[in-house]
Amino acid sequence: MECVFGLVGNDFAVVVADTSAVHSILVHKSNEDKIMILDSHKLIAASGEPGDRVQFTEYIQKNVALYQFRNGIPLTTAAAANFTRGELATALRKNPYSVNILLAGYDKETGPSLYYIDYIATLHKVDKGAFGYGSYFSLSMMDRHYHSGMTVEEAIDLVDKCIMEIRSRLVVAPPNFVIKIVDKDGAREYAWRESVKDAAVASA
Amino acid sequence: MARYDRAITVFSPDGHLFQVEYALEAVRKGNAAVGVRGTDIVVLGVEKKSAAKLQDSRSVRKIVNLDDHIALACAGLKADARVLINRARIECQSHRLTVEDPVTVEYITRYIAGLQQKYTQSGGVRPFGLSTLIVGFDPYSGVPSLYQTDPSGTFSAWKANATGRNSNSIREFLEKNYKETSGQETIKLAIRALLEVVESGGKNIEVAVMTKEGLRQLDEAEIDAIAAEIEAEKEAVEAAKKAPPKEK
């Protein structure tokens, strides 16, 4: 039921993830941020087993930071993607992580890029990608409307189209989504799309 | 004495660990390093031995960062430093991963000192031949700190300290001239202290400044400018001393 998708635009990459934390039939919370800012110019959108998701992405994040301190320069997106895939592959036949990842990044030399990394350590460099049941709808929408070199407005429009499809056609559609973007100015949160707001905790 | 200085794990009859003391000798032969703590800033300065003409000086960084908010300078065996720095960097990230908090300066200093001590109590190894100066700002509290460790594994916090070549002279100077400063004044104090034992000029010293925002390496031009300021101040003081007696 977790929906994660993303695409590469003109000079940026955008990733979207649903924000429901679900356990069997219970929704724990609907504002769980599943897109981690890996470093200044990389985003990891992850879906899958909640424990593995957090554990694995934090582990990758700290190793990416360590590389930067050791070597004085940050990893490229491709290097980070390959490192992530390598860690999944190493664990696969012993103690696999059940995490699917879309890694988006911006490199000064090569521009924006998006990597599809699934839980059995498949790695693909893609222009658009998606995971989960929502992928049936978001991939179809993106196949229809995507073209290379989209502007931010066009891309967000496409993202909203995808979210609308998921909301209307997926039986247990997640109500809320978070959109994050990465470009030459860095990785940052772009917007939330909420149809259900978590009630604020009442003060004592 | 010859029988008690081979193995690290052997005390001499008068209670010395000679290998550790010899390691301290190695530190005394290393380049001078100075650290000064201000109210909102901590400054590290290291003597740069004149670079060989063909050497790319950018590849010889003497002040390194362990994390966004912690930096280290050292005196002694640089190869040993690489090992220690690598372990400390891993520990900084590991701490962040397990407790979701950046390390405090005291924590990482304790870690490095603990590592140095381990190698004074194990068989078949020798101590690390370096003393470190560790600076940083504690996360959340934003308090600046300066710590020093040595090959024996002891560590303590300092307002200002020096290690390496001629560290005694520098420390004496600091003891005489230290006062609570901030910003540019702290940088000047650190450079003044270093220039007591090092030839003046941006080419011969490396200076880095740690503020709440992070570590900043001063470039040669900046150091030259401050060194020139210091020279001018010194000359003014000299002139003032000489002038009054003549006015009789």
Q: What's the per-residue H, E or C state across chain A? A: CCCEEEEECCCEEEEEEECCEEECCEEEECCCCCEEEEECCEEEEEEECHHHHHHHHHHHHHHHHHHHHHHCCCCCHHHHHHHHHHHHHHHHCCCCCCEEEEEEEEECCCEEEEEEECCCCCEEEECEEEECCHHHHHHHHHHHHCCCCCCHHHHHHHHHHHHHHHHHHCCCCCCCEEEEEEECCEEEEEEEECCCCCCCCCCC
Tell me the one-letter amino acid at A136: Y
- pLDDT exceeds cutoff 60 at B1: no
In this structure, is residue A71 part of a structural domain? yes
Chain B interface includes A82 (CB < 8 A): no
- Cross-chain CB nearest to A69 (options B66, B94, B97): B66
Chain A positions touching B96 (Cβ under 8 A) are 62, 65
φ/ψ bin of A175: left (φ > 0), alpha (ψ from -120 to 50), beta (otherwise): alpha
Q: How far is CA A196 from each of CA A19, A27, A174, A177, B191, rounded to the nearest angstrom?
A: 11, 12, 9, 10, 59
Rounded to 5 degrees, φ, ψ at B68 are -60, -30
Decide if A90 is inside a domain. yes
Task: With cut-offs at 50, 70 and 90, classify the pLDDT of residue B191.
Answer: very high
> Whole-angstrom Cα distance, residue B115 to residue B111?
6
Distance from CA of A61 to the nearest CA of B (A): 9
Check which CATH number belongs to the domain holding A93 and give it. Answer: 3.60.20.10
Residue type present at position B167:
S
Please report which confidence band the pLDDT of residue B26 belongs to, taking 50, 70 and 90 as the band edges: very high
- CA B111 to centroid of chain Cα atoms: 17
Q: How far apart are CA A121 and CA A117, in angstroms?
A: 6
Chain segment A32-57, per-residue pLDDT in tens = 999 999 999 999 999 999 999 999 99
**Residue A86 forms beta bridges with which residues?**
none
Smallest CA-to-CA distance from B157 within B85, B102, B95, B105 is with B105
Q: Across the interface, which of A59, A70, A72 has its CB nearest the CB of B97?
A: A59
Q: Which domain holds residue A73?
A: 4-199
Does residue A130 belong to any structural domain of this protein? yes
Name the helix (H) or strand (E) containing B5: none
Cα separation, A194 vs A201, whole angstroms: 18
Q: Which amino acid is at A70?
A: R
Question: Could you read off the pLDDT of B45-76 as tens digits, one per residue?
Answer: 999 887 778 888 777 788 999 999 999 999 99
Q: Which pair of tokens denotes residue B183? A: 């910003």
Nearest CA in chain A to B93: A62
In the Cβ-directed half-sphere of A112, how many Cα atoms lie within 13 Å? 28
Domains with residue ranges and CATH for chain B: 18-48+59-235 (3.60.20.10)
Nearest to A69 among B89, B94, B97 (CB): B89
Read off the pTM: 0.89
Residues A191, A200: Cα–Cα separation, whole Å: 19
Strand partners, A100: A47
Token pair 């559609």 is found at A173
The closest of A143, A182, A197 to A9, measured between CA atoms, is: A182
pLDDT digits (tens, 9 = 90+) for A151-201: 999 999 999 999 999 999 999 999 999 999 999 999 999 999 998 876 655
pLDDT digits 0-9 by tens, A64-85: 999 999 998 899 999 999 999 9
Q: Using a CB-CB distance cutoff of 8 angstroms, which residues of chain B are in contact with residue A65?
A: 93, 96
Under a CB-based contact definition with an 8 Å cutoff, are residues A4 and A180 in contact? no
Residues in chain A: 204
Chain B residues within 8 angstroms (CB to CB) of chain A:
61, 65-67, 86, 89-90, 92-94, 96-97
Query: Total structural domains in chain A?
Result: 1
pLDDT at site A187? 97
Our CA dihedral for B66, B71, B75, B80, rounded to 10 degrees, sits at: 0
This model of the complex carries an ipTM of 0.85
Q: Considering only the beta carbons, identify the residue of B61, B86, B93 that sits closest to A65.
A: B93
Whether A204 is in a domain gets the answer no
Token readout for B60 is 């010889």
Q: Is A4:A100 a contact under the CB 8 Å cutoff?
A: yes
In this structure, are strands A21-23 and A26-29 parallel, antiparallel, or unpaired? Answer: antiparallel
C-alpha B137/C-alpha B213 separation (Å) is: 9
| Rounded-to-integer distance, Cα A62 and Cα B96, Å | 8
Asked whether A6 and A14 are in contact (CB, 8 A), the reply is yes
What mean pLDDT, rounded, does chain A reach? 94
Model confidence over A96-118: pLDDT tens digits?
999 999 999 999 999 999 999 99
- A62, B86: Cβ pair inside 8 Å? no
Best of B56, B58, B86, B89 to mutate (most A CBs within 10 Å, chain A): B89
Q: Taking all residues of chain B, what is their mean pLDDT, rounded to a whole number? A: 90
Q: Is the pLDDT of residue B186 over 80?
A: yes
